[in-house]
Amino acid sequence: GAASKGEYRHYMLKEIFEQPKVIEAALEGRLSANSVLVESFGPDAQALFQRTRQVHIIACGTSYHAGLVARYWLERYAGVPVQVEVASEYRYRHPVVPEGTLFVSLSQSGETADTLAALRFAKTLDYIGSLAICNVPGSSLVRESDITLMTRAGPEIGVASTKAFTTQLVALMLLTLSVSKAKGQAEYPDIIAALRTLPEVCQRVLALDRQIEILSQAFAEKHHALFLGRGAHYPIALEGALKLKEISYIHAEAYPAGELKHGPLALVDSEMPVISVAPNDDLLEKLKSNLQEVRARGGQLFVFADESVGINAQEDIRVLTLPHVHEALAPLLYTLPLQLLSYHVAVLKGTDVDQPRNLAKSVTVE
Ligand code: G6P
C-alpha cells in the first residue's frame, strides 16, 4: 500500500526516492505549453494575485526553509517583497500588514499548532486573503484558508521531511510564476521548460546514492558539521543542517557563506567537515573564495557542485558533481544529495532514522 516501505530499509529512503514521481504529480495539470495555469490555485486566485503587493509566509521546521527559498524566487521573478517567519514568533508579536499583503502558510500536515494559530491570528489582521500550500487535503489549514494548493507528495511517514519539502518548492515556484503572470508581468517559459525536465534530472541525482553513501563515512565519527550556501542556497544549507541534526544527532549549523568570517571560521579545523552547495550561478566566484578560507584553516570540504563549475577534487576537497539545471531550480535539486547524506550518516550511526528521539511528525500542541 501507499504507506509500506516496500524494498526500502526505511520510510525516509523510500520517500527520498519517490521525489521524481511526486514532483511530476505536483506539476500535473498545472502548466500549459509554456505558461503556468493560475487557476491551479482555485477560481479566486487570479483576482487575489493581481492585488498582491507583498507576501507574508509563515511556517515551521522544514516548511519554513521552503518559505525562505520562496522569498528569493518571489522577489527575483515576481518582483514582490516577501517576509518569511516561523509561526511561533509571528503569532506572538504585533506584525504590521501593509496594504495588499497576501498571507501564505506552508505545512506538510496542515495541523501544526503554531502554523494554524498563525493563520487564525492573520485572519484578524488586514490581509487581502490567505493561501495554504499543504500536503494533506481536508486538514485544518486547508479548510480554514481562502485558497489552497495541494503539494501531492502522498503520505510522508519519516519524521524528517523530504518529499514534502521538494514538492512545496515546486508549489512555491508555481506560486511565483502565477503571481507574476496575474500581475501582467513577465512569464518565464525557460523555467516552465526546466520544471518539466525536473523529475528526470532528480532521477539522475538520486543515481549518485552510492557515491554519497561513501562520502557519509567521513561523518560517522564527527561531532559537528557546517553547511554553507549563498543566495537561495542558504536555505538549502539550513535544511541540510536540520536533516543531519534530526536523524544523526550530529550538531550542525548553516551559514550564508559570506558570513563565514563573522564567527564560524573560528570553529574550522581539521575536525570540522564543511559542506557546501555550488551551483553555477552568479555567486559562484564568491563561494569559491569562501571555500579557500575554509581550506586555509585545514577544514575538510565537501562540495556538491554543478558539472560546469570546475571545482576539482583534491586531498582536502571532496567533490560530487551534479547535472546542470536551470539556475532557478537548483535549490530544489541540491536538496537531494543533502537528504541522502544525512540518511547514510544516520544509518552508519545506527539511529532510529524514521523516528528520531524527541521529535514528532506533526506538532499539534504548542
Ligand atoms: C515537525 C516535523 C518536521 C516539520 C515540522 C512542520 O517538526 O518533524 O518535519 O517540518 O513539524 O510540520 P508541517 O506539517 O507544518 O510542515
What would the pLDDT profile of 13-64 be if each residue is shown by its tens digit?
999 999 999 999 999 999 999 999 999 999 999 999 999 999 999 999 999 9
Residue among 58, 363, 366 whose CB has most ligand 1 atoms within 8 A, to mutate: 363
**pTM (2 d.p.):** 0.96
User: Could you report the per-residue pLDDT of 56-104, keeping only the tens digit for each?
Assistant: 999 999 999 999 999 999 999 999 999 999 999 999 999 999 999 999 9
152 and 22 Cβ atoms separated by less than 8 Å: yes
**What angle do the packed helices 330-349 and 209-216 form, to 10 degrees?**
50
113 CA from centroid of ligand 1 (Å)? 10
Name every protein residue with a CB atom under 6 angstroms from any ligand 1 atom. Answer: 60-63, 107-109, 112, 115, 159, 161, 359, 361-363
Q: What pLDDT, on a 0 to 100 scale, did the predictor assign at position 295? A: 85
The torsion angle over the Cα atoms of residues 151, 154, 157 and 159, rounded to 10 degrees, is -10
21 CA from centroid of ligand 1 (Å)? 22
Which entry of 123, 222, 288, 361 is annotated as an active-site residue?
361
3-state secondary structure of 126: coil
Angle, alpha carbons 361-339-218 (nearest 5°): 125
- pLDDT confidence tier of residue 277, bands split at 50, 70 and 90: confident
Q: Does the pLDDT value for residue 312 go beyond 80? A: no
Residue among 159, 163, 361, 364 whose CB has most ligand 1 atoms within 8 A, to mutate: 361
Q: Return d(Cα 73, Cα 57) in angstroms, integer.
A: 13
| Amino acid (one-letter) located at 5 | K
Closest atom of ligand 1 to CA, residue 141: 15
Q: What percent of the chain has pLDDT over 70?
A: 99
Q: Does the pLDDT value for residue 2 go beyond 60? A: no
Can you read off the three cell numbers belonging to residue 263?
Answer: 564567527
Q: What pLDDT, on a 0 to 100 scale, did the predictor assign at position 1? A: 46
Q: Tell me the pLDDT of the chain averaged across its residues.
A: 94
Query: What element of type H or E holds 173?
Result: helix 163-182
**200-209, 239-248, 284-293 — which is least confidently predicted?**
284-293
**Residue whose CA is at the smallest distance from ligand 1 atom 3:** 61
331 CA from centroid of ligand 1 (Å)? 19
Catalytic residue check, 361: yes
ipTM: 0.98
Can you read off the three cell numbers belonging to residue 91?
Answer: 503569532
